[in-house]
Chain A
Amino acid sequence: MSIDYSEKIPNNVDLASNKTLQRALEHWQPAYLDWWGEMGPDKTTTAEVYLRTAISVDPKGWAHFDYVKMPEYRWGIFLAPAEADRKINFGEHKGQPAWQEVPGEYRSTLRRIIVTQGDTEPASVEQQRHLGMTCPSLYDMRNLFQVNVEEGRHLWAMVYLLHAHFGRDGREEGEALLERRSGDADNPRILTAFNEKTPDWLSFFMFTFITDRDGKYQLAALAESGFDPLSRTCRFMLTEEAHHLFVGESGISRIIQRTCELMAQHKTDDPAKLRAMGVIDLPTLQKYLNFHYSVTSDLYGAEISSNAASFYTNGLKGRFEETRLGDDHRLDTAEYPVMEVTGDKIVTRHVAALTALNERLRDDWVKDVQAGVDRWNKVPEKLGIPFRFMLPHKGFHRRIGVFDGLHVSPDGRIISEAEWTHKHNDWLPTAEDRVFVQSLMGRVAEPGKFANWIAPPARGINNQPVDFEYVRFN
């Protein structure tokens, strides 16, 4: 069966005339659709969703809105427009022309980087596949599905790189990406956070706000890569990632809004009373924030990493906004502060900046998360409620790096096993908390109607009204 490539698979990589790529994708695409059918959003094949589809990379083409049945979504392959004479901007190859083909000596490293990034994309679709059944509104359902199809497209983007630049190995990796399963004991996804469950919408919003923001920072670092196709692919993915961050940030903000409205109206901050009114009390939201923040923090890896150093020196993965930073872009002598544990004290030590690149990217992410939390805090502030959300200490609830094996309180004290056992239920969602949140999850699927625990958004998608029929069921 022949495929009209430019119609079926919108692309700007001249797919129509690349026979090798066509053959690879002809094999992979049916497998992808099978995976989507099996692991994509549950019971949604006939629903028509008001989705944004990228049909080209120019500003007018990449935000094309229309009703689409998800299995018929046109997953495209897009690279941000090439920058003429782009150079490698950091590391030992700084100043040399950017690579258009994979350099032999970095082949396996680059493949690993791409596979690791690519693996997170289908993983999150799998984690979120049941959420459509409990959506708080059609608007939110549409946003969930938009996130899902775009994670799917990000998988395509990574598979394109594997197919186009890594030959048979790349094709095999492309298949393996469809075979691993989030949370599967025998064949799990590569990164731990992507094997956690996303059981409810609060978790989903926290995930998109916090964990997709890790995605943003990883993509931004890869967008600096000396391997130009990877750089261009990631730059385009970043524009889509922004929507996911928006869904998370505004989702939590709307939950806070709703809870604060009832707090102000009934003049109470009693979690039991608020729960009885069917909204999520702010301390519970804080616990979810603590959980997602700490689990996602682990995704950046160990504070000191020789892998991160060689990725940088070799020109494969840069720093966030590398080209806007004003230094030598080699980090031969620069230092960077990193936390360390001495006895029962957490101290800061300066280490070679080159080895601390994971920590640096984590810090950039922390700053960004903090700015979002500050925006959330404006909601209670406006309604005259004294509660403020706070990010826990970087060492809180960590499983990777210098804090692994230690217990750190949210305010940054190293504490005993006994204190942790006594207190951790105040800091992390308990089974009871999760059951309560789960109990609120009913499906609201009437245009303009919203579940009781979440406020409507300030405006609709693509200038449509809030009560627009964002999903049509057939």
Chain B
Amino acid sequence: MTTETAELVRQHLIDPEICIRCNTCQEMCPIGAIEHDSNNYVVKFEVCNWCNDCIGPCPTGAIDNYRNVTRDRPYSLEEQYGWGALPAQVDLAPGEGAEADLPADVARMTSIATAGQGGPGSPPWSAAHPYVNLFAPSRPATATITGNYRLTAADASADIRHIVLDFGQTTFPVLEGQSIGILPPGTDEHGKPHAMRLYSVASPRNGERPGYNNLALTVKRVTEDYDGQPVVGVCSNYLCDLDKGAKVQVCGPYGTSFLMPNHPNSSIMMICTGTGSAPMRAMTERRRRRMALNEGGQLMLFFGARTPDELPYCGPLGRLPKALIDVNFAFSRVPGSVKQYVQDKIRERHEEVFRLLQDGNCYIYICGLKGMENGVVEAFRDICRQHGGDWEKLKPELLAQARLHIETY
């Protein structure tokens, strides 16, 4: 199957169970994409351009439906005319791609991660269209480990690793900011297969190595729980211990809103701790590879860790050109130094931060432990007040414009 024919698309359809055959949609459609017989109203797949002029006027909501299809196999008019009800959303085979319902685990984790912004939001207007849910847990893709090395110093308390997965001939398109699910082998104490874990992709869309069908993850070996009690994280330990050549079961990709803007002159403010740096690395690397295009915009990073040794990608980050990115590290456990958290660095840079908060072309990303979220928001609030602004007014605007993205865990 060629890439062309396998392309996943949404087909606009009308629900014959709710439709009252009032003709409003056909009347409204400016390009003649809707027609009817004595049974049903139907949408011409090759004509409909999703202008949505028909959606608001429909009195029933019947018009507001779609099904996932591959471009070469949409539902024909004959099929649509024959329907008494819409067909079920088809779960397409691997490789064909399906935007079907997310696994419950993913939906639950996403809702927890995005609680700080009131649930999953919209992506920036210039974000690329993400593929999601191409591989379900019942039908995962297989990737091969082609790299696994420690990012933190050997004597640092945290073991954070950079792990590269290669997908070979399997289609697994990702965008910066998306996550993938890893299925650790084996079963839990109840004999059930281990639950899937989500990891944010740390490499840009065209691969950890440009042009290769691979991606990178930033994985921290979990050795204690939130309260500091010793615990062995099933999936992280599994991943961190994998050797080159090992096979991994992968689901996803997931995520439709924590995506980077792509328009020229768009700026990105990134605030992260620990492995929350993964999507920031992906976006930064995407921009670095495109520096020569002089697309404008700036990158500003606030990155917190206990010590420099525990900060993943510390060295490479430090070597990035100043013209590309404005890097601000905050360390909280450096002996002999004042404890600094990301919010302290944000406050220090208040003028620049306020300017970016006001800049309609700047998109703000927060990723890391839940604990950092309040501190960052407090800092934003203070900075707004200091500059005569109002965070309470600004925040809903940022969310409405898809300029504020929070993923914390």
Contacts and interface: CB of A to CB of B under 8 A. Distances in A.
A113 interface: no
Interface residues of B, number: 20
Given A59-B57, A243-B59, A463-B64, A378 B84 contact: yes
Contact of B22 (A246, A458, A463): A246
A58 B21 CA distance: 21
Contact of B20 (A245, A367, A463): A245
Interface stretch (B23-31, B254-262, B272-280, B335-343): B23-31
Contact of B60 (A62, A239, A246): A246
Contact of B61 (A238, A375, A463): A463
A242 interface: yes
Nearest to B64: A463
Interface in A272-301: none
What range describes how many residues of A lie at the interface? 20 to 34
B25 to A, nearest CB: 9
B33 to A, nearest CB: 13
Contacts, number: 57
Contact of A246 (B38, B59, B84): B59
B18 A458 contact: yes
A63 B18 contact: no
Given A246-B22, A371-B38, A238 B27 contact: yes
A59 B20 contact: no
A2 to B, nearest CB: 32
B86 to A, nearest CB: 12
A62 B55 CA distance: 11
Contacts of B54: 59
| A246, A368, A378 pick with most chain B CB within 10 angstroms | A246
Main DSSP-derived SS at the A contact region: helix
A245 B56 contact: no
Q: Max chain B CB contacts within 10 Å: which of A242, A462, A463?
A: A242
Given A59-B53, A62-B57, A239-B57, A245 B64 contact: no
B18 A59 contact: no
A313 B61 CA distance: 39
A207 to B, nearest CB: 15
B56 A459 contact: no
B57 A63 contact: yes
Interface in A224-270: 235, 238-239, 241-243, 245-246, 249-250
A216 B52 CA distance: 24
Contact of A245 (B22, B38, B52, B57): B22
Interface string B43-80: 00000000011101101110010000000000000000
Interface in A355-386: 367-368, 371-372, 375, 378
Nearest to B18: A458
Given A59-B28, A371-B21, A458-B18, A242 B56 contact: no
Contacts of A250: 18, 20, 60
Given A59-B53, A463-B64, A249 B27 contact: no
Interface in A53-103: 58-60, 62-63
Interface in B99-135: none
Nearest to A247: B59
14 contacts: A59-B54, A62-B57, A63-B56, A235-B27, A238-B23, A238-B24, A239-B57, A242-B23, A242-B24, A246-B59, A250-B18, A372-B20, A459-B61, A462-B56
Interface of B: 17-18, 20-24, 27-28, 38, 52-54, 56-57, 59-61, 64, 84
What 5 A-B pairs come out closest when comparing CB atoms?
A242-B22, A59-B53, A63-B56, A243-B59, A246-B59
Given A241-B22, A242-B23, A242-B57, 20 more contacts: A59-B56, A60-B56, A62-B56, A63-B56, A63-B57, A238-B27, A239-B57, A242-B59, A243-B59, A250-B18, A368-B21, A371-B21, A371-B38, A372-B20, A375-B20, A378-B17, A458-B17, A459-B61, A462-B56, A463-B61
Interface of A: 58-60, 62-63, 216, 235, 238-239, 241-243, 245-246, 249-250, 367-368, 371-372, 375, 378, 458-459, 462-463
